[in-house]
Amino acid sequence: MIEVRYLGGGEDLLVGRLTQSAGRVFFEYDGDWRGRGLELSPYVLPLSEDRAVAPPDNKFQGLYSLFADSLPDWWGEKLLRRHVEAQGRVWRDLTPLDKLCLQGDRTVGALGYEPDAGMGEEVGEFDLEGLASSAVDVLAGETDRVIAGLLRTGHTAGGAQPKVVLGLSEDRRSVVSGEGVLPEGFSHWLVKFDLEPVLEDGRAEMLCGLAARAAGIEMPEVAVLEDGSDRAHFAVRRFDRRGHGERVHVQTFTALSGRHVEEQFDYSDLMDMTRDLTRDHRQVEQMFRRAVFNVLLGNEDDHGKNHAFLMEADGEWKLAPAYDLTQTGHPVGGGMRACGVMGRAAEVRREDLLALAAEHGVRGSEKVIDEVWGVLSRLEDFAVATGISVGRMEELREGLRGAR
Q: What is the reported pLDDT for 62? A: 94
- Strand-strand pairing, 265-266 and 336-341: parallel
Contact between residue 33 and residue 16 where contact means Cβ atoms under 8 Å apart: yes
In the beta sheet, which residues pair with residue 226?
232
- Each residue of 190-231: pLDDT tens digit? 999 888 889 999 999 999 999 999 999 999 999 999 887 888
Highest average pLDDT, of 154-158, 159-163, 176-180, 247-251, comes from 247-251
**Is the pLDDT at 155 greater than 60, yes or no?**
no
CA 321 from chain centre, in angstroms, equals 10
CA distance 153 to 179: 8
**Is the pLDDT at 57 greater than 80, yes or no?**
yes
Please, what is the angle between helix 267-278 and helix 281-297, to 10°? 160
- Strand-strand pairing, 336-341 and 344-346: antiparallel
Q: Which of 197, 23, 161 is nearest to 79 (CA)?
A: 161
**Is the pLDDT at 11 greater than 90, yes or no?**
yes
Share of the chain above pLDDT 90, in %: 67
The secondary structure of residue 8, as a DSSP letter, is B
Cα–Cα distances (Å) from 51 to 5, 18, 54, in that order, read 18, 12, 10
Domains of the chain: 2-114 (no CATH), 128-242 (no CATH), 248-398 (1.10.1070.20)
What's the CA angle centered on 103, arms 180 and 120, to 5 degrees?
Answer: 70
Q: What is the reported pLDDT for 404? A: 47
Q: What is the reported pLDDT for 60? A: 95
- For residue 382, give the 3-state DSSP assignment: helix
- Each residue of 73-99: pLDDT tens digit? 878 788 888 878 878 888 889 999 999
Taking residues 17-34, report their average pLDDT: 96
Contacts of 296 (CB under 8 A, 6+ apart): 369, 372, 373, 376, 400, 401, 403, 404
Taking residues 268-276, report their average pLDDT: 98
CA distance 389 to 61: 43
The secondary structure of residue 88, as a DSSP letter, is T
Q: Which of 247, 218, 85 is nearest to 156 (CA)?
A: 247
